[in-house]
Structure 1
C-alpha cells in the first residue's frame, strides 16, 4: 500500500492549506511548517505587509499566496475562498487561527460592549465564517473532504482573571469544533481543535513580565517555542482523513494550568 508523502494530496499533487492570522506568531509558524512539508499555503490576515513577511520567511520556491482578509467580515471571507478556488480548485486544510484577546485587566462590569463584540466577531464569528466557506468547498470538490483545525486555547478549559470575552469565545470554539466534526462525517471533513498554552509570540510577551493569577498575585509564567505548536498542527494536518485528533493540548510544561487557581 502506498503511503502519502508529506504535502501530497490524494491525487498526487500538492495539498492546499489556508492559514488565518498568518501574519505573525502561531499562524506564521504553522504556515512556514506547512510550506516546509510541501504544502501550498494561502496566507490570510488583516495586514498585507505582515503576510508578505510570512511569505518571505518561506524561502525560494514556496507555493504561497497572500490574501488580506478580515475574518469578521463575510465579504472578505467570501473573497478569500473564491481566491483559493480560482487558484487551486480545492482545499485540503483550514487552520482557523485568527483571534484577539481583547482589552486585558477590565472587570466584568466595566467591559465595553464594543470590546465584547470585537472579540466575539473575530474569534468566534470569524471561525464560523471561514469554516462554513471551507466546508462548502470541501464538500463540493473531488475527491471530497478535507480537514479543519481550530485554534482553541487553554482558556477553552480554564479562564484567566478578567478575560470574560476571550474565555467565552474559546468555550464556544469547542462547541463549534464538535458540531463541525459531527456534521462533516458524511463528507470526509475532519475537524479538530488545538488548545495552546503560552507559546512564545508577541501576544504572550507579557508572560515574561508577570501576569495576574487567580489568587490575585502577579507571576512570571514559562513559555514554549512556537515551532513546537507548529509541529503539533502539522502532525494533525497530515493524518489521513480516516483519522482525526479531536482535541490536542500543547503547553509550556510548567505553566499554571493543571491546578490553576
Structure 2
C-alpha cells in the first residue's frame, strides 16, 4: 500500500534496478504512488524488484536492457510509454566499480573500458532516449543521474578510475541540464557516498566490519542508508525541486565537506 500521493499518476523509470540503490529508489517511488519501470540486464533480479514494487501497491513493468546499447534504451523508453502512456521521471542508476583497490598504473584496460561504457556512455545514451521522449510531452520530465562522492572528491586510494567515470557523470549532468531545460526537462544528479550496499564492502568485509570502519571514515559515523539516497532522488524528481537544475546533491555523511 502506498504511503504518499506525491507521484500519483506519474511514471518513473529506474535503470540498474535489480538490487541495491536502484531497487531502493524503485521502492521509494512505489511508496509515493508512481508507476515504476525497472530496467537492468538480468531478468531474475528485475522480477524480484517488480514483485516488491507491486507488493507496495504500485503498478510495475520490468524490462531487460543493456545501457551500453542505444537500441535497448530506445526500446526501453518506448516500452514505458506503450505501457503507461508517458515517461515522467528517469533515474539513470546503472553503474559498475571494477578494479577497486588498484592504483592507476595497475588498472586493467578491460575494466576501465567497461566502467566507461556503463558509467559514462550508458548515462549519455539513456539521457538521449529519455530527453527525446520527455520533450514531446506536456510538462516535460525530470531526470536524475546517479554519480558518486568519489567523483566529487576522489581521495580514496584505489578508486581513481571509477571516480573519473563518475566525475564525468557529474559534468554530463550539468551540461545536459543547461542544454535541455528549455525543452521542459530538468536534469540533476545525486552523488552517494558509502551506502549500505554490497559495493561499499571491502573484499571479505562484513556489514559489521564496515560499520566499525565507518565510525572514523565518515564524519556522520556511519554509511548512508539506501532509503536516504532514494529520498534525495525523489526530492529532485518532485515538484518541490522545480527550480533545481544541474545540481549534484551529495549524500555522504559529510565526507566531502
Output the TM-score relative to the length of structure 1: 0.85
Residue 143 of structure 2 is matched in structure 1 by 148
Is structure 2 residue 35 aligned with structure 1 residue 35? no
CA separation of 1:179 and 1:86: change in aligned 2, threshold 3 A: same
State whether structure 2 residue 249 is matched by structure 1 residue 248. Answer: yes
**CA RMSD, Structure 1 to Structure 2 (Å):** 2.2
The SS at the match of 2:201 is helix
How far, CA to CA, are the matches of 2:159 and 2:184 in structure 1?
A: 36
CA distance in 2, matches of 1:250, 1:70: 27
Q: Do residues 21 (structure 1) and 22 (structure 2) align?
A: no
**TM-score if structure 2 supplies the norm length?**
0.86
Residue 257 of structure 1 deviates from its aligned partner by 3.6
Question: Kindly tell me: are residues 241 and 132 of structure 1, through their superposed partners in 2, closer, same or farther at Cα, counting changes over 3 Å?
Answer: farther
Secondary structure, counterpart of 1:91 in structure 2: coil
Deviates more, 1:221-230 or 1:148-157: 221-230
- Equivalent position of 1:238 in the other structure: 238
CA distance in 2, matches of 1:205, 1:252: 17
For 1:113 and 1:153, locate their aligned partners in 2 and report how far apart those are by CA, in whole Å. 21
User: Which sections of structure 1, spanning at least 5 residues, go unmatched?
Assistant: 9-13, 214-218
Deviations 1:37-85 (A, max 9, x none): 0001100111111111111222064210000111112222122112112
Matches within 5 A, 1:191-202: 191-202=187-198
* Count of matched residue positions in the alignment of Structure 1 and Structure 2: 240
1:121 to 117, 120, 134: 117
| C-alpha separation in 2, matches of 1:110 and 1:203 | 20
Query: CA-to-partner distance for each residue in 1:113-152, whole Å, 9 max, x for gaps?
Result: 21111000000000011110000000112x1410110111
Question: Cα 1:55–1:185, aligned 2, differ >3 Å: closer, same or farther?
Answer: same
DSSP-derived class of the 2:239 partner: coil
Cα distance change, pair 133–118 in 1 and its aligned pair in 2 (3 A)? same
**Cα 1:162/1:22, change in 2 over 3 Å:** same
Between the aligned partners of 2:100 and 2:151, the Cα distance in structure 1 is: 17
Check conservation: 2:190, 2:248, Cα contact below 8 A.
yes
Describe the superposition over 1:150-209 as per-residue Cα deviations: whole angstroms up to 9, x where unpaired. Answer: 111101211121223211111111111111110112111101111111110121133754
Instruction: Return the match for 2:108 from 97, 109, 112.
Output: 112
Between Structure 1 and Structure 2, the one with more helix by share is 2
Q: In structure 2, what is the equivalent of residue 163 of structure 1?
A: 159
* Distance apart, 1:88 and its partner CA: 2.2
> Which residue is equivalent to 1:11?
none
- Deviation string, structure 1 residues 10-51 (Cα, Å, up to 9, x no partner): xxxx10111011011111111001011000110011111111
